[in-house]
Every structure is written in structure tokens, then in C-alpha cells.
Amino acid sequence: MTATLITNIGELTTNVEGDGDPTGLRRDAAVLVEGSRIAWVGSAAEAETHLLRRDSAPQTTSRDGFDVSPSSAGGGGHVQVVDAGGRAVIPGFVDSHTHLVFGGDRADEFEARMTGTPYAAGGIRRTVAATRAASDEQLRTRLAGFVAELHDQGTTTFEVKTGYGLSVHDEARLARLAAEVTPEVTFLGAHVVPADYADRRDEYVDLVVGEMLRACAPHSRWIDVFCERGAFTADESRRILAAGVAHGLLPRVHGNQLGPGDGVRLAVAAGAASVDHCTYLDDADVAALAGSDTVATLLPGVEFSTREPYPDARRLIDAGVTVALASDCNPGSSFTSSMPLMIALAVREMGMTPAEAVWAATAGGARALRRDDVGVIEPGRRADLVLLDAPTRVHLAYRPGVPLIDRVFKDGVEVA
């Protein structure tokens, strides 16, 4: 088994809660990776003593009580040493909301928005036409490019939604392609009613909960619905989520993006893992979220690109709601996959501290995907780590737009 010791870490964000700090910050730290998992976390000094300068007899327990595996690293096997040079290490970003399988783009819409044309969900239909026209190979190549882009920016876990096919054949195709690159595939046949069903919306909902769901469920883990004026009503959304759950999928919801609505309360009532956008909330929405296990996933790339008001993260956090940050990368409302940008916007525009924003983009995303193997740096978790070209995670918000992602490890393998 290969082993890598990342040592001389000036600031390590573990997200292992301790001493009232949910981000479990450690100074002068080291992390030992064995195979795809984290084997040990401790101080750089301990790493020197126990892992690098040891003779044949392996140490099995560190001062902090973490087990040092006596396999490759402990038994004198080869350990690759990465010297972080006093810089910061954080968990790989968990982007719990993307729409990365699509054809074409909508740069013209963005350009028009910047001179005053408002965002409208109807633009989705243009991407549906371009996606239907694209071959599997074209979509696969594009997706591979996005995966490389995500890795380069420190994202090691990501969700991908369908939703630009909106026919049985095309939705199944998108779900299948998405499943080639991530286990976190979301069936979003209920994105909008496609143009060919414009006068037959009931028929379209029947199709989504019937044949389309049956074709997509085998490739998917999640069911999602865009519960919004111009997309699906609360009754339709409830029916769609229930059908997905009956097929073994887990619910999540797009809600309260373009105006107040039923999305948040519907998501909470359905026991959804997450309700995403949460831009327009009333007090009842916040209270419902606070009393639930549903994460509020905020997508500030959307407000950046649509000129809508940013969601009030401070209000949610102060009410006790779990907040995640995600990119919503899609060609209409947010064509960016940059989690560092989401952190910078959350801090600058949404009242989050840098520590809260980094937590929300890592452990928060993991909660939104109900994953306990990512988003946290501790023994047993996946070795998904980002070495920043910065002394502290604060720089992610403090130096917006600067490429601070130096090295990225996913499952113990360097991917960027």
C-alpha cells in the first residue's frame, strides 16, 4: 500500500469538532495517508519522531491516541513525504450541486442580463435543445473537461444532476453519463416542463414519475425537483419526490430561488437531505429548517450571475440551520465550478466568516450529500485533501480570484 506523509502543515482544517471549534483547526500538523484513506493525524513533531526517524520497531499509537497503522508506513515501507512548507491544508471541497452534463452554452443570455434582462428559468429549454443534439461522446468529453476543472480547483467530491434531457431517452442518457464520473447522480426530470409538453404538463409529470423515473433510477442516488413559479407546483413536487423515494432514491429540492414559495417547507416535510438556493425565505422557512435535518445549500454563483440578492447565510446560521455552499455549475444561472469563489462570495456578501464558509464548502457539502466519508480529515476517512498556496484558509476569501489551490489529493492519489 502506498503511504504519503504530508507534514509541516502550518494550519490544518480537520472539521473534527473540538474545543468549541467546528473546524477542528490544528497548527504545525501532519497527516499520514495510507492507500485511499487517512491513517493518522497529529503534530509535525510527532510525525518526525514516530514516522520518519524510527527504526524497525513501529510505533502503534501516537500521543493523541490515534493509531498509527503498522502496515507500510509503520513497518519501514516507503513513505512519500510532502513538505507543506508551513502552508494550509483543508479537506477537498464537496460540491453538492452541479448540472454538468449539457450541450452548448448561454453566453448571450448572460450578456443580456448584465444590461438588465432578468434571469428566467425558460432559458433551460435552450440548453435542453443543445443537449439533445449532442452525442454521448461529445457530452462525455465535455464532462471529463469539467471533472478536470473541478479537481484543479480543489473539488474532490461532486454531485451531478440530469435535467437537460427531459425525455425518457435523454434523461437516462444523462444519468448514465453522470454515473461514469460520480456516485452522486441526481435525477432532475422535473427541471422544467419541456417545450414539447408545454400544453400537457400533467402528462409530463406522469412521464417523470413513471417511465422516466424507471429509466433513470438505476443510475441515480437522488431525486430532485425545481419547485418554483414557472417550474413545478408544490403538489407536483410532492408527487415527484414521493415517486422517487418509492424507487429507492433520496430527496433533495431546488426551492425559493426566484421568489418566496413552498420549496423549503416541502423539502423539510419530505425529509430532504438538502434544499438548495434558499434565496427568498420567510421566518417560517427558517424555523422549519432549524428544526430539521435538512441542510440549506446556498449557491452564491447564481446571485453573482443573475444579479438577484444573495441569500442571508448569517440569519440561517444564527437560527441553527446547517448551511452548505455549492457552485450550481450550469450554463444558465451560474457557469462557474469554483468553490473558492463561493467561499469569497459567502464571506463578502452573505455574512459568513471564513471558517464557516470553508466548513460549508467541505463538511457542509458532505452533510448535504449525507456522506460521512468525506469533508473531514481524520483517520478512516477518505484521503481527500487540498494543499493551499497560502498560510491560512482565510486567504480563500481574502485573495479572491487568485489561484491558491496548489496540490489536490483524492482517495490518496494526487489529481491536480
50 is in an annotated binding site: no
59 is in an annotated binding site: no
219 is in an annotated binding site: no
Query: How many residues line the site for Fe ion (CB under 5 A)?
Result: 1
C-alpha–C-alpha distance, residues 74 and 60, integer Å = 8
Helix-then-strand count for the chain, H and E: 16, 16
219 binds, among Fe ion, ligand NIG, none (CB under 5 to 8 A by kind): none
Burial 160-170 (b: 16+ CB within 10 A, else e): bbbbbbbbbeb
* Binding residues among 325-354 for Fe ion as defined by CB under 5 A: 328
Q: In angstroms, what is the minimal distance from the CB of 41 to ligand NIG?
A: 36
Give, as one character, the DSSP assignment of residue 98. B
304 neighbors 279 (Cβ within 8 angstroms): no
Q: In angstroms, what is the minimal distance from the CB of 157 to ligand NIG?
A: 19
302 binds, among Fe ion, ligand NIG, none (CB under 5 to 8 A by kind): ligand NIG
Among candidates 3, 390, 330, 293, which has minimal Cα distance to 161?
330
Report which residue's Cβ sits closest to Fe ion: 328
CB nearer ligand NIG, residue 310 or residue 409: 310
6 neighbors 387 (Cβ within 8 angstroms): yes
131 neighbors 170 (Cβ within 8 angstroms): yes
CB nearer ligand NIG, residue 324 or residue 394: 324
Fill in the amino acid letter for 322: T
With a CB cutoff of 8 Å and minimum separation 6, the contacts of 201 are 193, 236
Show the site string, 291-330: x = touches Fe ion by CB under 5 A, - = not: -------------------------------------x--
Q: In angstroms, what is the minimal distance from the CB of 333 to ligand NIG?
A: 4
106 is in an annotated binding site: yes
CB nearer ligand NIG, residue 332 or residue 340: 332
Half-sphere exposure of 32 (CA within 13 A, CB side): 29
CB nearer Fe ion, residue 262 or residue 328: 328
With a CB cutoff of 8 Å and minimum separation 6, the contacts of 202 are none
Q: In angstroms, what is the minimal distance from the CB of 175 to ligand NIG?
A: 17
Q: In angstroms, what is the minimal distance from the CB of 413 to ligand NIG?
A: 31
Fill in the amino acid letter for 395: H
228 binds Fe ion (CB under 5 A): no
C-alpha–C-alpha distance, residues 74 and 122, integer Å = 58
CB nearer Fe ion, residue 236 or residue 328: 328
Sheet holding 222-227, edge to edge: 93-95, 155-161, 184-190, 222-227, 250-255, 274-277, 295-298, 323-325
124 binds, among Fe ion, ligand NIG, none (CB under 5 to 8 A by kind): ligand NIG
384 binds Fe ion (CB under 5 A): no
Fill in the amino acid letter for 165: G
89 binds, among Fe ion, ligand NIG, none (CB under 5 to 8 A by kind): none
Q: What is the DSSP string of 299-343?
A: -HHHHHHH-PPPP-HHHHHHTT--EEE---BBTTTB----HHHHH
247 is in an annotated binding site: no
CB nearer ligand NIG, residue 124 or residue 383: 124
CB nearer Fe ion, residue 236 or residue 276: 276
Q: In angstroms, what is the minimal distance from the CB of 298 to ligand NIG?
A: 12
Q: In angstroms, what is the minimal distance from the CB of 369 to ligand NIG?
A: 16
Report which residue's Cβ sits closest to ligand NIG: 332
176 is in an annotated binding site: no
- Binding residues (CB under 6 A) for ligand NIG: these are 99, 121, 123-124, 127, 226, 254, 257, 302, 328, 330-333
C-alpha–C-alpha distance, residues 30 and 410, integer Å = 17
- List binding-site positions: 97, 99, 106, 164, 191, 254, 257, 328, 330, 332-333
Residues that bind Fe ion (CB under 5 A): 328
- List binding-site positions for Fe(3+): 97, 99, 254, 328
